[in-house]
A and B are shown apart, each in its own frame.
Chain A
Amino acid sequence: MTIKHDVVIVGAGLAGLRAALEVAGSIDTAVVSKVFPTRSHSGAAQGGIGAALGNEEPDSWEWHMYDTVKGGDYLSDQDAAEIMAKDAPRAVYELEHLGVPFNRTVEGKIAQRAFGGHTRDFGAAPIKRTCYAADRTGRVILDTLYGEAVRHGVTIYSELQMVDLIRDGKGVSGILVYNVATGEVHTIHARAIMIATGGFGKVFHTTSNCHANTGDGVYYAYRAGIPLQDMEFVQFHPTGIYGLGVLISEAARGEGGVLRNRDGHRFMEDYAPTIKDLAPRDMISRAIVTEIRNGRGIDGKDFVYLDLTHLGKENLEARLSDISSFVRVYLGLDAAYDLIPVAPTCHYMMGGIPTDLDGHVLDENHIPIPGLYAAGECACLSVHGANRLGCNSLIDLVIFGRRAGLAIARDLKELPWGEPGSESARRFGEKVAELKNRDKGERVADLRAAMQRLMSTYCSVYRNDRDLRRTLDDLRGLAERYRSAYVENTSSIFNYDLLETLEMESLLGLSEAMVACALERTESRGAHYREDYPERDDTNWLKHTLIQKRDHGYTLFYKPVTITRFEPKVRTY
């Protein structure tokens, strides 16, 4: 069956919904989501959304921009960082006007708190810039934008999984989707397609990401010949609950929490003397792993403690109640009295589908592909450079999601209806039949577990040439084994066995791209740290990586970073 809409947006997180609100009403728009919209992973964002409102202390967008660029280890495109920092107050006021229940100052303004890497006066000291609704900021913004989608009558197709991006010449003509509830396959024929499918933390064993974060949109773009940018830059959040990876928000340190090693020492004093536990995430994750490697993990094991015991029960309840509950539910501990075991957890992808400032997806010549848009974690502007600062993700989503929506509305009259044809549906049907007809073969759960272990062991906080090469070989071995994967479940109804088998192709394709880019970049910058090349090398590597899929393998190439206001300097905190 073919479904036709002028605009189709894939993903119902903050970027997708915010874009939809810009076009819904006047333009025939549909949002497609593999889960129900309020289950989207934007809802797991805890700590807050960054904007230089100056409600708690004087602030300026220039400081916010500077922090973003320095936090990104100077790989951020500064035109994008300037737009984000300047537009952030408007975007947060807009969310407040839509009803987001922000915490408040005594004067009734939006309350703000400190977060990693956000400073006043170009690095002088931490600043309160993060607007928040307790520690469920992403969830309440998601609920709010969902409510607005209801108000505006946006057409939402839930539990439809994107399984292909259909090209037509240089442009795009539609997407292929699989209906999770019925097993039907539909071609969605559209003039404008926006990818807003979020991250792909599920390539790693330990991650704060949800099961749905398998990077489908990013991979199908890559498979359709669109290059991916800066794939080596993966953020490991310093404070995942040990063993589980469940996130303990940076807000915990913003509110005064500190990290301690086996001696009870607040070790961040040694690594970032000025802002200590509020250093950017890449630095703190490296510091934790360094402490562990030097035998200073708790009881010599591979975790450290997050200490919130001095914050007080009332404060924890008002500002950090969700994480207090996670600690109680999953660890049986009381954050007011007990130390919390934490270790780095894969959290965020700085890389993704390259776009311009208005969400237009760029081809290998950096020219917009007509009709194709992307925003949010799946996209790479690149505003976050080599390392994203905390609370810069939510603001990125609503600002650049909106800009993509505005661009679609502007461009639409010039966009033709392409011809999606039936080739994509035919190929997909063949693949599914092959998977279901095979009565023995590789279990995808085993392949996935092997891939996740490889990535978490060798492509994590520390990397080196030997490990990356070996990982690349091993990933290719897994990809070969994937060719004989089989699906035990032949049902058409809610067949998660089949869905996860399809997702595995995405995960394997993306992990290979990440390792290939990481292997090539022989320097250390932001979240990409090479033990064999421990220094940042601006002479050779102040540039973005691009990787493009070929029939056999891939090619890597590079493009310059946009630098406007802040020349690269040594990055210390």
Chain B
Amino acid sequence: MELRFKIFRFDPAVDSQPYYQAYTVQAEPGERVLDCLNRIRWSQDGTLSYRQSCAHGVCGSSAMKINGRCALACQKLVKEVHGAEVLVEPLPTFPVLKDLVVDLTTFFQRVDEMRPYLIASDPPETERIQSPDERKRMGESIRCILCACCVGACPVSNENEKFLGPAPLVQAFRRIFDSRDTERIERLKQLDYPDGAWGCVNHFECTRVCPKEIPVTREINEIKRAIKKIAESPQS
């Protein structure tokens, strides 16, 4: 089938303003939007820039806004987007570096601030024991691929650049609810501020767009409940 694309273009070295460029591509219904972008770049316009790597929703490179919704271009199929026109834009909220490539420096800094590693006492010689139910407490958070679709889609992140954002909170969740981690209370306290966990006001956009189907909002709410609980308990 024939698809008409309208793609956001911006080269800071040349353009004073971003603009949209139209392309027409032949594609099969089962192909990915990423395949279409590649077809454009490989046979029509070598100047188009976007990130890609694994092409099957594991590495998180190809996050962008497709027909108004944040998604991975490698996970959106032609048959899901075809219509009058396919609108492709960079992930909102982040500074645009070129075309569909955005600056994720702050995003990764915030992930790093979550101390995305296990903090625990000295390990035994073999594995630490963790029951299947304890392991399940980490839930779907282990699926996070740091694509930043959730932050791009979050209305709070869009308006308030100080808000920590959904993905860093998911990263925190993963450690807070890991029975092996001994830093739980400190990690919760770290999130207990207006632009931390409390910045989330349940728009659920992150949950709607997450390409790995992580119930992001629910996990953030679990963090909020856990913060309340330690605030109420006398020993903290």
**A residues neighboring B (CB under 8 Å):** 35-36, 38-41, 43-44, 53, 89, 92-93, 96-99, 101-110, 133-134, 136, 139-140, 143-144, 146-148, 150-151, 181, 210-212, 243-244, 246-247, 322, 325-326, 329-331, 443, 445, 487-489, 491-497
CA distance A330 to B181 in the complex (A): 37
Contact of B46 with A488 in the complex, beta carbons under 8 Å:
yes
A491 to B144, CA, bound (A): 33
Of residues B46, B49, B57, B116, which shows the largest number of chain A Cβ atoms within 10 Å of its Cβ? Answer: B46
A494, B99: Cβ atoms under 8 Å?
Answer: yes
Q: Is the CB of A496 within 8 A of B97?
A: no
Asked if B125 is at the interface (CB within 8 A of a chain A CB), the reply is: yes
| A-B contacts, 14 listed (Cβ < 8 Å) | A41-B59, A43-B58, A44-B54, A96-B128, A97-B118, A99-B175, A104-B134, A133-B142, A139-B145, A140-B142, A147-B118, A492-B13, A495-B49, A496-B49
Measured in the bound complex, the distance between the Cα atoms of B140 and A133 in whole Å is 12
A103 to B132 Cα, complex, angstroms: 7
**Which B residues lie within 8 Å of A108 (CB)?**
129-132, 134
B46 touches A489 (CB 8 A): yes
Known: A35-B61, A494-B49. A181 touches B77 (CB 8 A): no
Q: Which residues of A contact B125 (CB under 8 A)?
A: 93
Cβ-defined contact, B56 with A246, below 8 A: yes
For the complex of A and B, list the 9 residue pairs with the smallest distance between their C-beta atoms, beginning with the closest: A99-B118, A445-B42, A488-B46, A147-B117, A497-B46, A108-B129, A494-B49, A97-B123, A147-B116
Q: Would A38 and B142 count as touching, CB distance under 8 A?
A: no
Instruction: Give chain A residues whose Cβ lies under 8 Å from the Cβ of B42.
Output: 443, 445
A143-B116, A493-B13 known; A41 vs B178 contact (CB < 8 Å): no
Task: Please name all residues of chain B whose beta carbon is closer than 8 Å to the beta carbon of A497 when the two chains form the complex.
Answer: 41, 46-47
Closest B residue to A131 by CB, please name it.
B127
Assess the A329–B126 pair: CB atoms within 8 A.
no
Name A330's contact: one of B30, B45, B120 (CB within 8 Å). Answer: B30
Task: Collect the chain B residues with CB atoms within 8 Å of residue A35's CB.
Answer: 51, 53, 59, 61
Would A99 and B117 count as touching, CB distance under 8 A?
A: yes
B98 and A36 contacting across the interface, CB-CB below 8 Å: no
CB of B138 within 8 A of chain A? yes
Which B residues from 10 to 37 make CB contacts under 8 A with A?
11-14, 30
Min Cβ gap B90→A in Å is 12
Nearest CB of chain B from residue A487's CB, rounded to whole Å: 7
Does residue B185 face the partner (Cβ distance < 8 Å to A)?
A: no
> Which residue in chain B gives the minimum CB-CB distance to A89?
B126
B contact face: mostly helix, strand, loop, or mixed: loop
Contact A109 B127 (CB under 8 A): yes
A210 B49 Cβ-Cβ under 8 A: no
- Cα A210 to Cα B52 in complex, Å, equals 9
**A139 vs B134: C-alpha distance when bound (angstroms):** 20
Chain A residue nearest to B133 in the complex (CB): A104
B117 touches A41 (CB 8 A): no
A residues less than 8 Å from B123 (CB atoms): 93, 96-97
| Contact residue among A101, A105, A243, A494 (Cβ-Cβ distance under 8 Å from B138) | A101
Q: Is B75's CB under 8 angstroms from A97's CB? A: no
Report whether A150 and B112 are in contact in the complex, using a CB–CB cutoff of 8 Å: yes
CB pair B59 A39 closer than 8 Å = yes
- Contact call B46/A487, Cβ cutoff below 8 A: yes
Give A97's nearest chain B residue, CB to CB.
B123
- Asked if B162 CB lies within 8 Å of chain A CBs, one says no
Assembled-state Cα–Cα distance A435/B100 (Å): 24
- The verdict on A98 contacting B117 (CB below 8 Å), with A326-B57, A495-B49 known, is yes
Residue ID in chain B nearest A145 by CB atoms: B117
Taking A133-B142, A494-B99 as contacts, is the C-beta distance between A36 and B75 under 8 angstroms? Answer: no
Q: For B115, what are the chain A residues with a Cβ–Cβ distance below 8 Å?
A: 147, 150-151
B53 & A96 in contact (Cβ 8 Å cutoff): no
Nearest-CB residue, chain A, relative to B60: A39
Given the complex, which residues of A lie within 8 Å of B112, measured CB to CB? 150
A212 to B51, CA, bound (A): 10
Interface size class of B (residues with CB under 8 A): 35 or more
| Most B Cβ at <10 Å: residue of A36, A106, A492 | A36
Q: Is the CB of B98 within 8 A of A211?
A: no
B101 in contact with A39 (CB, 8 Å): no
B91 within 8 A of A: no
Cβ contacts under 8 Å, B47 to chain A: 488-489, 491, 497
Q: Is the C-beta of B231 less than 8 angstroms from some C-beta in chain A?
A: no
Q: Are B129 and A493 in contact (CB under 8 A)?
A: no
CB of B43 closer than 8 Å to a CB of A: yes
- Bound-complex Cα distance A308 to B81 (A): 30
- Given A44-B54, A93-B125, A493-B49, the answer on whether A106 and B132 have CB atoms closer than 8 Å is yes
A443 to B131, CA, bound (A): 56
B104 sits at the interface (CB 8 A): yes
A41 cross-chain contacts in B, Cβ below 8 A: 53-54, 59
Interface bits B137-153 vs A (CB < 8 Å: 1, else 0)? 01000111110000000
> How close is B168's CB to chain A, nearest CB, in angstroms?
13
Min CB distance, B148 to chain A, in Å? Answer: 11
A99 touches B180 (CB 8 A): yes
Q: Which residues of A contact B61 (CB under 8 A)?
A: 35-36, 39
A148 to B59, Cβ gap below 8 A? no
Closest CB in chain A relative to B105 CB, distance in Å? 10
A104 touches B77 (CB 8 A): no
Question: Which residues of chain A come closer than 8 Å to B57, judged between CB atoms?
Answer: 325-326, 329
- CB-CB under 8 A from B45, the residues of chain A are 488
Question: B residues within 8 A CB of A491?
Answer: 11, 13-14, 47, 49, 98
List 15 extra interface pairs beyond A35-B51, A150-B115, A493-B49, CB under 8 A: A41-B53, A43-B58, A53-B126, A99-B118, A99-B178, A106-B131, A108-B132, A133-B142, A143-B144, A210-B55, A322-B58, A326-B56, A489-B46, A495-B49, A496-B41
A22 to B47, CA, bound (A): 41
- Minimal beta-carbon separation of A443 from chain B (angstroms): 7
> Which among A102, A247, A494 is the interface contact of B98 at CB below 8 angstroms?
A494
Question: Given A108-B130, A493-B97 in contact, is the A150-B117 Cβ separation under 8 Å?
Answer: yes
Among the listed B98, B143, B178, which residue makes an inter-chain contact with A136, where contact means beta carbons less than 8 Å apart?
B143
On chain A, the residues within 8 Å of B50 by CB distance are 496
- Report the bound CA distance from A326 to B180 in whole Å: 31
Docked-complex contact B43 and A97, CB < 8 angstroms: no
Contact B117 A494 (CB under 8 A): no
* Residues of chain B contacted by A329 (CB below 8 angstroms): 57, 75, 77
Task: Tell whether, in the assembled complex, residue B127 and residue A93 are in contact, meaning their CB atoms are under 8 Å apart.
Answer: yes
Contact, CB under 8 Å: A98 / B145: no
When distances are taken between beta carbons in the complex, the residues of chain B under 8 Å from A331 are 30
Give bound CA distance, A103 to B134, whole Å.
10
Nearest-neighbor residue (CB-CB) of B146 within chain A: A38
- Please tell me if B213 contacts chain A, counting CB pairs below 8 Å: yes
User: Complex Cα distance A245/B199, Å?
Assistant: 42
Instruction: Kindly state the separation between the CA atoms of A545 and B51 in the bound complex, as whole angstroms.
Output: 37
| Residues in B neighbouring A247, C-beta threshold 8 A | 56
Report B-chain residues with C-beta under 8 Å of the C-beta of A102.
Answer: 127, 135
How far is it, in angstroms, between the C-alpha of A2 and the C-alpha of B144 when the chains are bound?
Answer: 36
Residues of chain A within 8 A of B134, CB atoms compared: 104, 108
CB neighbours of B51 from chain A (8 A): 35
Q: Are A493 and B117 in contact (CB under 8 A)?
A: no
* B39, closest chain A residue (CB): A445
Q: With a CB–CB cut-off of 8 A, which chain A residues contact B128? A: 96-97
Question: Which of A36, A96, A146, A212 contacts B127 (CB under 8 A)?
Answer: A96
Q: A108 vs B130: C-alpha distance in the bound complex, in angstroms? A: 5
